[in-house]
Amino acid sequence: MIRIANGQGFWGDWLEAPARLVEQGPIDYLALDYLAEITMSILQKQKETDPNLGYARDFPPLIAQIQRRLIERDVKVIANAGGVNPIACAREVRRLAPSLKVAVVTGDDVFGRLDEFLAAGHEMKNMDTGEPLSAIRDRILSANAYIGAFPLAEALGAGADVVIAGRCTDTALSLAPMIHRFGWKPDDFDKLAAGTIAGHIVECGAQCTGGNCQVHWESIPDMANIGYPIIEADHDGRFSITKHEGTGGRVTVDIVKEQLLYELGDPKNYITPDCVADFTSIQLKDAGPDRVQVSGIRGAARPAMLKLSIAYSYGWKAIGTLVYSAPQALEKSKAADRIVRQRLQQLGLKFEEIYTEFFGVNACHGPVAVPNPDPPEVQLRIGVRGQDRKAVDRFTRELIPLVLSGPPTGTGFGEGRPPVREVVAYWPALIPRELIQTSVEVVD
Amino acid sequence: MKIPLSRVAHARSGDKGDTSNIGIIAFDPRHYPILVREATAERVKHFFGEMVKGNVERFELPNLGALNFLLHVALGGGGTLSLRIDAQGKTLGAALLRMEIEIASGELS
C-alpha cells in the first residue's frame, strides 16, 4: 500500500496544506496541482518578460521549506508547477534545495509547433464551436497538450525526489506513483481507471474532506485546520480516501460522492491521456472514521487523440459596483443601471455584452432566486466586455458620478474606478497523440 | 405532495467552459428512483429558464444514487469571458435543490 496526498487544488490554495501533510502523518508521495486553464497564459506572458519565469513561483520556496522533512520521511513530490517553463522551475528548486534530485517532464508545450501542425492539416477545431484554429492564430498566447501519468512515472523511476511537469492532467499527479510502484502497464485499463478516479477525488484538495460540502456543513469539525486528502492505494486498483488523524474536516461516502460529480461530463466516458474511466462502476463504502473504501472500477483503452489547452487574447472587460440602501434599494439600483446604460448609448459605445446583477437579490441564482421584497441594501454590479479597450475604459468612469448625479443613497465607491482587464479565452482542441513526444530530464 | 429537491438530495456544481455541471445525490440510495422520475432534463431546463440558453443533458449514476446534469450555454460565456459573479456555476447546485418535485404520500418513509 502506498499513500499519496494532494496538498494543492489550484495555484492559490491554502499555503499551509502541503507542509502539514508532510508533518502530520505518514505519506509516501505529495501531489501538488498548480495549473488551471487560464494559468498557462499568465505564465506565458511572464516568460516573455523574463525567460527565467513562467512557472508557479510559490513552489520552489515551498520545497525549500519542507526539504528536510521530505528527506527524513522519504516523501517524493509530483507537481505541475513547471507551467510553461519547467526547466527554470527545476533550476530554482535545485538552487534552494540542492540535496534533492529533481526531474522535469517536457513535451507538453506546443506553442512553437502550431504552424507545423496546421501545415500538416491538423485544424485543431474548437471542440465547443467547431471553428478552425486559423481563425484566432495571430492572437494565441499559449498552447499545451495535456499529457498523462506515464512520463511522470518514468521520472519517479529515474530516482527523482521532485518531479516537475508542465500541463499534465490533474489526475496524472496521483496516478503516476501507482504506475511507478505497482508496475501498471498502458493496457491495465481497470487499474489505470481506478488510479485516475482516485486522482479525480483528491485533485481539488479539501473538496473531498469536507470543504464546499452541502451535507451537514455546519457540523464539519475544525475547518480552520482541515486535513487535505490522502489516497491509500493498493496494487490491485482498490484504494481508500482518508486524511491525517487529528485534522479538521470529514471524509464520508456522501462527501466523496459530491466530489466525484464535480466537473464531470459523461460518467461512462471520463477521458484522460491514460485511459477512459467509467464512473458508473465505482463502489463506495464507509470504512471507519474519515475513511472511504473505493472498488469495482472499470476502464477502457486510452484515446488516440490528446486534448490541447490553447489560450488566446479575446478582448477586454471591466466590472464595477455601487451600493444602494433601503428603502427601495433594488428600485434605486435598477434606476442607476438604466442611467449607466443610457449614458453608454449616448456616447455611442459598442460592447459585446453589458451584464447587470443585483447582489442581495439575484446575483447567484438569477431568475430562480427567492424574492426579497425590501432588502436592507443592494449592490449593483455592471460588467461590460468588448474588443475596443477604449470603450471598456470609458465605461469604468460611468459609475462613480452616479453617487452625486443618480438615485439617492448611492455608496460603496471607495475602491475607485474598476480596472480594465484583458480577457484571455480558452480554446479546447484535439491533436493525434503520436505528435506529442515527452521527455524526462534529471536537472543537475 | 410537493417537496423541494433538497429534502431528498444534496448537490455539487462546477463548470467546463460555458457548460455548468450539476450533480445531485440522493441522501438515501432508496430514493434514487424518485430523482430519476422527477428530476428530468426537461424540468431542469424549465426550472432555470432564461439562465440556460442551450440544452440540458442528464446522465445516470445508479451506483452512487446520483444524476449528473450538463447545462449548456449557461454561464454567460464561461471561464474568463463571463461577466457573472458566479462564472463557474458554483452556486447552481444549491439553486437546483429548490426545485419542487412531486412524491406520493409515504414514499419517503
Q: Mind listing the pLDDT tens digit for each residue in B79-96? A: 889 999 999 999 999 999
Under an 8 A CB cutoff, do B61 and A280 touch?
Answer: yes
The H or E element that residue A379 is part of is strand A377-386
> Which pLDDT band, with edges at 50, 70 and 90, does A40 fall under?
confident
In terms of Cβ atoms closer than 10 Å to its own Cβ (0-12, 13-18, 19+), residue A167 is buried
Q: In this structure, are residues A430 and A126 in contact, taking their beta carbons and an 8 Å threshold? A: no
- Asked casually if ipTM beats, i.e. exceeds, 0.95, the reply is yes
Tell me which of A36-40, A63-67, A217-221 is least confident. A36-40
**Rounded Cα–Cα distance for residues A151 and B102 (Å):** 52
Distance from CA of A363 to the nearest CA of B (A): 7
Chain A residues whose CB is inside 8 A of the B86 CB are 363-364
Pairing of strands A439-443, A421-432: unpaired
Q: Output the pLDDT for position A32.
A: 98
Give CA–CA dist A135/B65, Å, rounded.
Answer: 43
Q: What is the pLDDT of residue A284?
A: 98
Report residue A41's pLDDT band, with 50, 70 and 90 as the boundaries. Answer: confident
Amino acid residing at A145: A
Q: How far is CA B81 from the centre of its chain?
A: 23
Query: Which range is least confidently modeled, A147-161, A276-290, A363-377?
Result: A363-377
pLDDT at A45: 85
Question: What's residue B70's pLDDT?
Answer: 98
- Cα nearest neighbour of A284 on chain B: B64
Binding-site residues on chain B for chain A (CB distance < 8 A): 10-18, 21, 23, 25, 27, 47-51, 59-66, 68, 70, 76-77, 79-81, 83-86, 90-95, 97-98
Phi, psi of B22 (to 5 degrees): -125, 120
With CB atoms and an 8 Å threshold, state whether B83 touches A385.
yes
Superfamily of domain A315-424 in CATH is ACT domain (3.30.70.260)
Report A:333-362 residues touching B (Cβ under 8 A): 353, 355, 357, 359
Measured between beta carbons, the chain A residues lying within 8 angstroms of B43 are none
**Residues A10, A17: contact at Cβ < 8 Å?**
no
Closest alpha carbon within chain A to B68:
A261
Which pLDDT band holds residue A36 (cuts at 50, 70, 90)?
Answer: confident
pLDDT at A38 exceeding the cut of 80 = no
Please give the average per-residue pLDDT across B56-62, as a whole number.
98
- Quick one: average pLDDT of A49-62? 96
Supply the angle between the helices A189-202 and A253-261 in degrees, to the nearest 10.
100
How many Å lie between the alpha carbon of A277 and the closest alpha carbon of chain B?
Answer: 13
| For residues A364-384, average pLDDT | 94
Coil/strand/helix, residue A242: strand
Q: Is residue A154 pLDDT above 80, yes or no? A: yes
| Average pLDDT value over all residues in chain A | 96
A-B CB pairs within 8 A amount to 130
On whether the CB atoms of residues A151 and A103 are closer than 8 A, the answer is no
The residues pairing with A432 across neighbouring beta strands, listed in sequence order, are: A305
pLDDT at A444 over 80: no
Could you count the other beta carbons within 10 Å of the beta carbon of residue A283?
12
B91-108 b/e with 16+ CB inside 10 Å = b?
Answer: ebbbbbbebebebeeeee
CA-to-CA distance for A332 and B69, rounded, in angstroms? 37
Q: Which residues, in sequence order, are CB contacts of A122 under 8 Å at separation 6+?
A: A431, A432, A435
Q: What is the pTM of this model?
A: 0.96
Residue A390 makes CB contacts below 8 A (sequence gap 6+) with: none
The three cell numbers locating residue A284: 463506495
The mean per-residue pLDDT over the stretch A264-281 comes to 98
Tell me where in chain A the CATH 3.30.70.260 domain(s) lie.
315-424
DSSP state for residue B25 in the 8-state scheme = E
